[in-house]
Structure 1
Amino acid sequence: MRPLGEQDIRNSFVNCSQGEAKRVNLPRDLGERPWDDLDFLGWRDPGAPDRSFLVTERAGRTVGVTLRSSSSRRGFLHRSMCSLCLTTHPGGGVSLMTARKAGPAGREGNSVGLYMCTDLDCSLYVRGRKPPGPGGRFEESLTPEQQIARTTANLSAFLDRLGV
């Protein structure tokens, strides 16, 4: 992914108002992100833990979506799997993230949900750049490149369902 600046990110959101996009708390470490290893930029709002954001490149343009996560916590012995990268995490490491659909459907309150890594570091898990914790990645016969392609295809399918 190419490095993004603050204005690129704010202008990319498709499922919120311009006013909401202006108020998004952006990550302070944009210059330090491992852009070459990212399929998308994802972060949680430190002031509102149930709010997250995801920005990616799609069909030659930058697309951002706002996400809400459920606040239910699961026990440490419970494991869940991310639907994007297929990494498993104990406890609250995977959250149901919902996003309003883009356009009129979103303004009517329609949304789509997907189980995702709570920290939105899917790109780093798939590439082995961040350890997911005990038992987090299954041994697969797919190459890392094929796993990356699957993750981006899963993200693309989610964005399709949002009407982006």
Structure 2
Amino acid sequence: MQPLTEDRVRDVLVNAKHDERERLAVPLEFVLADWDHLDFFAWRDPRTRSRGYIVAELSGEPVGIVLRAGSGSGGGRPAMCNLCHTMQPGDQVALFTAQRAGDAGVRGDSVGTYVCADLSCHENVRLAAPLAPNEVRASVDRRIDGTRRRVEAFVERVAGG
């Protein structure tokens, strides 16, 4: 990924309202990010835990989206993240929704999916050992590529592409 500044992240959020751009808070890891080794950057807002963000590159340009975390919890049942395809305990996967960009978002259209609650998909796919006893792992490279493609497709769907 190309290196981003906090101001640039605010500029590329396609489904954010003006006040959401103003309130955006980046995590401490943002200033330490090794952008050359990131497929995308995702984080929970350190000030407002119900909000999250994903920035991915689409056609070589950064595109970001604002996410809202659902208030419910998956409880004790294991669940799978739809982005990284990692099995997690149910309370570590959350429903995130994103208002669609443009006219669709103005009409109230949104897109949702189940994602690792801490938005740590980028790290989870790089773990070599299975996280669950019945989980079958593909090669790490295939998992990374698959996760990147699914994240990009989700961001593109929200952006209206």
Decide: shared fold, TM above 0.5. Answer: yes
Q: Aligned pair in 2 of structure 1 residues 29, 154: CA closer, same or farther (>3 Å)? A: closer
Equivalent in the alignment of 2:132: 135
User: Aligned partners of 2:133 and 2:39: how far apart in 1?
Assistant: 19
Equivalent in the alignment of 1:106: 105
The one-letter code of the counterpart of 2:62 is T
SS at match of 1:114: strand
Task: State the TM-score, normalizing by the size of structure 1.
Answer: 0.86
The one-letter code of the counterpart of 1:16 is A
Gaps of 5+ in 2: none
Q: 1:151 aligns with which of 133, 147, 153?
A: 147
SS at match of 2:145: helix
Q: Aligned pair in 2 of structure 1 residues 10, 137: CA closer, same or farther (>3 Å)? A: farther
User: Aligned partners of 2:60 and 2:79: how far apart in 1?
Assistant: 33
Cα deviation per residue 1:101-122 (whole Å; 9 max; x = unaligned)? 1111011110000111111111
Equivalent in the alignment of 1:19: 19
Residue 2 of structure 1, CA deviation: 3.0
Q: Percent identity?
A: 39
Gaps of 5+ in 1: none
Work out the number of aligned pairs and report it: 160
Aligned alpha-carbon RMSD (Å): 2.2
Q: How does 1:3-82 map to 2 (within 5 A)?
A: 3-75=3-75, 77-82=76-81
Q: Is the 8 A contact 1:89 1:136 kept in 2?
A: no
Q: After the TM superposition, which parts of structure 1 deviate over 3 Å for at least 4 consecutive aligned residues?
A: 34-37
SS at match of 1:49: coil
The one-letter code of the counterpart of 1:153 is R
The one-letter code of the counterpart of 2:87 is T
The one-letter code of the counterpart of 2:146 is R
Residue 13 of structure 1, CA deviation: 0.3
User: Aligned partners of 1:6 and 1:12: how far apart in 2?
Assistant: 10
Q: Is the 8 A contact 1:86 1:137 kept in 2?
A: no
Q: Aligned pair in 2 of structure 1 residues 46, 151: CA closer, same or farther (>3 Å)? A: same
User: Aligned partners of 1:60 and 1:111: how far apart in 2?
Assistant: 25
Q: Aligned pair in 2 of structure 1 residues 50, 137: CA closer, same or farther (>3 Å)? A: farther
The one-letter code of the counterpart of 1:135 is A
